[in-house]
Structure 1
Amino acid sequence: MRRLAGHGALIVILTMLTQLGGIAWGLALLFRRRSLAFVLFYAGLSTGAMYVAPVMGRVPLSCLSDQALTVQSPMYCVLNRQYVTPELRDVLVDMSQHMDETFPGTVTQVLDANFPFVTGFPLLPHLSHHDGRKVDLAFYYRNGDGYSPRATRSPIGYFAFEDGPTQCPQQWPTLRWNLGWLQGLWRDLRVDEPLMVAALNWLGRDDRIGKIFIEPHLQASLGIAHPKVRFQGCRAARHDDHIHIQL
């Protein structure tokens, strides 16, 4: 019974993290060499999703691109978190091309997007990435020599927060993690303000975009006053480490 419960818990965890991993582990239980079987099944299901998902309304973003738009880490593709609707994909392509044309050499990096299938299926820990119409973008950063292409302060683009005032009280439950113990570990990079302003202004002007979330202190310091740029609320995750956009 304990072993069965353990397999059940693992299936749940893998499903929550990757959507398809629970299915792969369930199939792997039919074989003696479960780890190998899991890897093969998971790779097959993930590869198949890249061809099936477009039929159902979502397309994968490339983790191998050397162009102006790329997924920040292969981890997001391994976990099947790089899917968006074709319309949102087009927005991202147009935005990245605009940024590269305005500031040659600029690379726009995608963080968490959505799973390949099923509207309403949660992509934890996000509250709203469940329909292919939302995506997170990494900040543009610079070092002492100027803009630093493909650089992020943390290895996955999240959790390297920019300091600034907040009106949010301490409360529970909340996803507003400060993770102060991590902050000293990140790379010494600064937000590239001209690129951030250009990106946010372009997104604000695009009729396909409905909402843009960043922290109010960043909106103020960047001088962004577009009505689409909003505060996500005190119970949601901090947005001074990434930009959230949605159709």
Structure 2
Amino acid sequence: MLKFIGHILAVLTLTVLTQLGGIAWLLALAFRRRFIAFVGLYLALSISALWVAPMFGRTPLPCLSGGAFQMQSVMYCALNRQYVVPELQDVVQTFAADMERAHPGTKTQVLDANFPFVTGFPLLPHLSHHDGRKVDLAFYYANDSGYLPSTTRSPIGYFAFEDGPSDCPDATVSLRWDMAGLQGFFPDHVLEPRRMTTALQLLVSDARIGKVFIEPHLKARFNARSDKIRFQGCRAARHDDHIHIQL
């Protein structure tokens, strides 16, 4: 019974994290060397998704890109979280190229996007990344020597928050984590103001983008006045560690 429960938990966990991992685990149960079989099956399913997902309206963002944009970590590709609809892929590519043109040497880094299949399938812990029309972008950072390309304060691009005023009340249960215990471990990089200002201007100027989520104190800090730039609300995760865009 405990073994059965363990398999159920493994399937649920792998499905939540990667969408395809639960299927790979179930198939691996038919093999004697289960873990090796799981790794092989998961790789096969993930690689197949690169070609199959476009048939269902989603396309993978390139994981090994040497151009103006890149996935912030190969982890997002390993977990199948780099998929978007073709229109959003073009938005990201255009935005990154425009950023590099405005500030030569700029690298735009992509964080969580969406899973390859099934509209409505949740990409936790996000509340809205379920249709291929949303993607998160990393902030642009600098130190005393200047702009830091391909760099984020956090190893995964999330949870290194920029402190600022908030009207959200303290809540016992909330996705608005402070992660206070982690903040001291992150390097003291600062937001690169020219690139952050340009990024927000470019994003709101693209007619294909419907909303941009960022914390109000950062909207004010970088003088972003567009109504497209919104506060995501007190019940959602903080957006002073990344920029969320959606069609």
Q: TM-score, normalised by structure 2?
A: 0.99
Task: Report what 1:72 is aligned to.
Answer: 72
**In 1, Cα distance between equivalents of 2:155 and 2:171:** 28
- Is 1:30–2:24 an aligned residue pair? no
Query: 1:70 offset after TM fit, Å?
Result: 0.6
Residue equivalent to 2:86: 86
Aligned residue runs from structure 1 range 154-165, under 5 A: 154-165=154-165
Give 2:233's aligned residue. 233
Structure 2 counterpart SS, 1:181: helix
Report the counterpart of residue 142 of structure 1 in structure 2. Answer: 142
- Counterpart of 1:108 in structure 2 is 108
Give the equivalent residue in structure 1 for 2:201: 201
CA distance, structure 2, for counterparts of residue 131 and residue 173 of structure 1: 26
In the aligned structure 2, how far is the partner of 1:17 from the partner of 1:172?
25
Partner of 1:221 in structure 2? 221
State how far apart, in whole Å, the 1-side matches of 2:186 and 2:175 are. Answer: 21
Counterpart code for 2:153: R
Matched residue, 1:123: 123
8 A contact 1:81–1:115 mirrored in 2 = yes
After superposition, give the CA deviation of every residue in 1:200-240 in whole Å (9 maximum; x if it has no partner): 11110110000000000111111111110000000100000
Q: Is the 8 A contact 1:119 1:131 kept in 2?
A: yes
SS at match of 1:22: helix
Q: Which amino acid aligns with 1:223?
A: N
Aligned counterparts of 1:57 and 1:150: Cα–Cα separation in 2: 29
| Structure 2: gaps of 5 or more residues | none
Identify which range, 121-130 or 218-227, moves more after superposition: 218-227
User: Which amino acid letter does the alignment assign opposite residue 29 of structure 1?
Assistant: L
Cα distance in 2 for partners of 1:100, 1:20 equals 35
CA RMSD of aligned residues (A): 0.6
* Native 8 Å contact 1:173 1:235 kept in 2: no
Question: CA separation in 2, counterparts of 1:123 and 1:113?
Answer: 9
What's the offset of the Cα at 1:173? 3.1
- The one-letter code sitting in structure 1 at the alignment partner of 2:39 is V
